[in-house]
Amino acid sequence: MAREPVSDNPIKTASCKCCGSNARATSVLASRIGPYSFSYCDDCAENVDEPAEMVNTMVRAVGGVENFLGWKPFGSSAAIADQVNVFRDGAYIPARLWLSEAQPQ
C-alpha cells in the first residue's frame, strides 16, 4: 500500500533516515509502525523501509521481539514484521528476518 507524503515540500538537504546513504531524501513519510515521520529516498519509500532504530523502539514499546513478530495492525491479517523492511548492508531485509539475525539491544 503506497503511503501519501506527509509534506508536499521537497526535502533539499536531509539524507534518507532509512538507508543513511548519500541518496537525497525526497519525501517525508509516516512510519508504518509508530507515530513518527522520517525523510525517505525514493528506493526506501518504495521498499516500505523503516529505520532500524524505529523497529528497535517499537520492539521495546510492545514488550519484546516475540510480541513485535506477532503484532498485526488493526484490520490486517499479516504481521507488521512481514510488511516492513530494514536496510542493512546494501539490501532491504524483512523486519522478521532482521530481528531473528540481529537482536536489538
Nearer residue to Zn ion within complex by CB, 16 or 52: 16
Looking from the CA of 36 toward its CB, the CA atoms found within 13 Å total 14
Could you identify the residue written with the cell 519484546? 64
- C-alpha cell belonging to residue 14: 536531509
Nearer to Zn ion (CB atom), residue 14 or residue 79: 14
Q: How far apart are CA 50 and CA 31, in angstroms?
A: 7
Q: Least Å distance between CB 17 and Zn ion? A: 8
Comparing C-alpha atoms, which of 78, 33, 88, 79 is closest to residue 59? 33
Least distance in Å: CB of 19 to Zn ion?
Answer: 3
Q: How far is the CB of 16 from Zn ion (least distance, A)?
A: 3
Nearer to Zn ion, 44 or 65 (CB): 44
Query: H-type helices in the chain, by residue range?
Result: 42-46, 52-61, 65-70, 95-101
Contacts to Zn ion by CB under 5 A: 16, 18-19, 41, 44
* Closer residue to Zn ion (CB): 29 or 44: 44
Closest approach, Cβ 91 to Zn ion, in A, equals 12
